[in-house]
Amino acid sequence: MALIIPVHAFYRGRGKSQIAANLAAVLAMQGKRVCVVDTGLQAPSIHTLLGLDDDAIGFTFDDYVQSRCRILQATYDVTSRLHLDADGRLFLVPASRALSQVYISAGAAADLERLVSATTTLANALTLDVLIFDTGSGLNEETLPVLAIADTLVLVLRLDNNDYQGTSVTLDVVQQLGVMRSVLVVNEVPAAYPHSEIQQQVEQTYDHAVAGIIPHSDELTALAGSELFVLHYPQHPISRTFRQIAEVVLQGDR
Ligand SMILES: Nc1ncnc2c1ncn2[C@@H]1O[C@H](COP(=O)(O)OP(=O)(O)O)[C@@H](O)[C@H]1O
Ligand SMILES: [Mg+2]
């Protein structure tokens, strides 16, 4: 069975989609068969990062949730722009076609049974190694089922007080849901902060491992969500951090 990795954060705008997309690309470039499922119906964006144009999208995860299609009909192979030299593959299940549709369809969330069924079908039909879920934020009927099926949860936070509380609550809840392993990614750290101190402090605070620390990056902002950082700047320290996060996440493989 594929390793199931939701990328989650308590608040919006913490870098979930950036981290999910770059992590997926890193794993595919290492030869893994990877599928990203965008369950964030409120603010879909990861399809742009992964190079899938709005007008190339037919069925979506939202259509699957509402029983308008089968999950494989909402699955797109986005491998081509990765220039792989290994056997890796990257698939995407986009959340919904366009922002205009989000308002029509918002409110429907995948229940656990339907989510598990989609996961099993994708893992078997595409012989996946890894399934990455780009989740919505918060703890609600949309996100809880996705968190519940995690093998390893990647929880993204920023260094501010709100995130401290939201992250603690999330870690408590996923533990109660029976999730065996959660790792933290600290994003948008001010450039001058020493990473070793942050790592120590955050690991002590939450009693969970930090898989990576990503500084605020003007280069990342400048890509404007239209190109993957690890493809554009493969030698950049942040790309090394994405590879490090991938390595930590795979350590949870059974
Ligand atoms: N380390 C970073 N440095 C600069 N900008 C970032 C960084 N991480 C994320 N961003 C930007 O912040 C915004 C929110 O990121 P996104 O991945 O869409 O968040 P989420 O999916 O959690 O809502 C995007 O414009 C993204 O490009
Ligand atoms: Mg997002």
Q: Which is nearest to 11 in space by CA: 202, 164, 128, 131? A: 164
Q: What is the pLDDT of residue 253?
A: 64
Q: What is the pLDDT of residue 40?
A: 80
Q: How many CA atoms lie within 13 A of 204 on its CB side?
A: 6
- Ligand 1: which of 221, 229, 241 to mutate, judged by most atoms within 8 Å of the beta carbon? 221
Q: What is the pLDDT of residue 179?
A: 96
Pocket of ligand 1 (CB under 6 A): 9, 12-18, 45, 187-188, 214, 216-217, 220-221, 225
Give the CA angle between residues 67, 71, 77 to the nearest 5°: 145
DSSP assignments along 137-155, one per residue: SSSSTTHHHHHHT-SEEEE
Q: Which is nearest to 131 in space by CA: 20, 247, 245, 208? A: 20
Q: What is the pLDDT of residue 98?
A: 59
Is residue 208 a contact partner of residue 182, using CB atoms and an 8 Å limit? yes
- 211 C-alpha to center of ligand 2: Å? 19
pLDDT tens for the 254 residues of the chain, in order: 899 999 999 999 999 999 999 999 999 999 999 999 999 876 667 998 999 988 899 999 999 999 999 999 999 999 987 777 678 999 999 998 655 455 455 556 778 999 999 999 999 999 999 999 999 999 999 899 999 999 999 999 999 888 999 999 999 999 999 999 999 999 999 988 899 999 999 999 999 999 999 999 999 999 977 889 999 999 999 999 999 999 999 997 64
For atom 14 of ligand 1, the residue with the nearest CA is 13
Q: Which ligand is nearest to the CA of 13?
A: 1
Domains of the chain: 3-250 (3.40.50.300)
Q: Which ligand is nearest to the CA of 225?
A: 1
- Ligand 1: which of 7, 11, 14, 18 to mutate, judged by most atoms within 8 Å of the beta carbon? 18
